[in-house]
Amino acid sequence: MSKQMKMGILGLLMVIPSFLLLLVIVVIPIVISFKESLTNKTGGYDLSNYQYLFTDKLMRSNIIFTLQVTIISVILVLIISYALAAYMRFNNGTTVIWIRKLYMIPIFIPSVIATYGLIQLLGNHGWVARILMTTHMGTLPRFIFDMKGIIIANLWFNIPFTTMLLGSALSGVPNSVIESAKDVGASGLRIFFRFILPLTYKTMLVAVTFVFMGVIGSFTAPFLIGPNAPQMLGVSMDQIFSVFQDRQLAAATAFFTFMLCSVMGYFYIRSMIKEESARS
C-alpha cells in the first residue's frame, strides 16, 4: 500500500466520526421533521401543512414578523459591531481600553438572566420608567413586549461575538496598506471601501451568517419579552406543539425555518467556493 493511499485512509477515518455525529444530530432529525411535516390528519402525505403555513393570516404574520426582526437585528448588529471593532483597531486611549474590557461581558451572562434584566430595566414599572416618573420627565415609550424589545435583546446577545470576529479580521489589515493609501491622498471613506472592507468581507459574511441563524431561531427573548401576536417562529412552533399539540404543523414550521437558514448558508458556502476557486 502506497503512502498516499495510507494518508487517504487515515484522513477518511478521521472524518468519519464527525460525519456520523453530523448525521445523527442534524441530517436524520431534518429528514424525520420533513417526513412529519408532510403527514396530514388522516395519516397520508401531502402539502396541507405548508399550505396552511402560507395561507393562514396569523402564520403569515408570524413569518413576516420573524423576517423583519431578523433583518433589522442583523443590520444593526453589523453596523454597531463594525464601528466598535474599527474604533478599537484604529484608536488608542482610555476609552478603547474600557471598551475592550467591557464589550465581552454579555457573552458570559445567561440569556434568561439578561432578558429578565431587560424587563427590569425597560419594563412599564422598570428602573428607567420609575426614574422618569420620579423626575417628572414623562413616561417611558413601550420597549418590552414589542418588536423593539426583541431587537434590543438580540443586540445584547450578538454584538460582543460579532465585534470579536470583526476585530480579529481588522487586526489582520496591514498598517502599511492604510498608510500608503493616506500618502497618495485617499480619503477615509475611500480607504474603507477599497481596502478595509474587501479585506474583512469574508469574516463579515461569517458574522452575518451566525447572527442571522441565531436570531431567526431564537426562543428565550421572543418568548419572554415578545408580543403575543405576531410571534417569532420559534415561539409559534412551541405554541403549536405544546398548546395545540399539532406535531405535523410544528414540524412544517421547523423545516421552513431550516430552509430560511439554508438560504443564508447557501450564499455563504457559494462565496467560500468562489474564493477558493479564485485562489486555486
Residue 278: band (very low, low, confident or very high) from pLDDT cuts 50, 70, 90: low
β-pair partners for 45: 39
Asked whether 213 and 262 are in contact (CB, 8 A), the reply is no
* pLDDT tens track for 141-165: 788 888 999 999 999 999 999 999 9
Claim to verify: residue 129 and residue 186 sit in the same structural domain: yes
Claim to verify: residue 13 and residue 81 sit in the same structural domain: no
Average pLDDT, the chain: 88
Better-scored residue on pLDDT, 247 or 140: 247
Q: What is the pLDDT of residue 122?
A: 85
Tell me how long the chain is.
Answer: 280
Mean pLDDT computed over 20-33: 88
The answer for residues whose C-beta is within 8 angstroms of residue 6's C-beta and 6 or more apart is none
Q: What is the pLDDT of residue 85?
A: 93
Distance of CA 182 to the CA centre of its chain: 35
For residue 42, being part of any structural domain is answered with no
For residue 157, being part of any structural domain is answered with yes
How many angstroms separate the Cα of 123 from the Cα of each of 107, 120, 212, 217, 228?
23, 6, 26, 24, 16
Claim to verify: residue 113 and residue 213 sit in the same structural domain: yes
The answer to whether the pTM exceeds 0.85 is: yes
φ, ψ for residue 45, nearest 5 deg: -125, 125
Claim to verify: residue 53 and residue 31 sit in the same structural domain: no
Claim to verify: residue 31 and residue 56 sit in the same structural domain: no
**Range of the structural domain that residue 5 is part of:** 1-37
Residue 280: band (very low, low, confident or very high) from pLDDT cuts 50, 70, 90: low
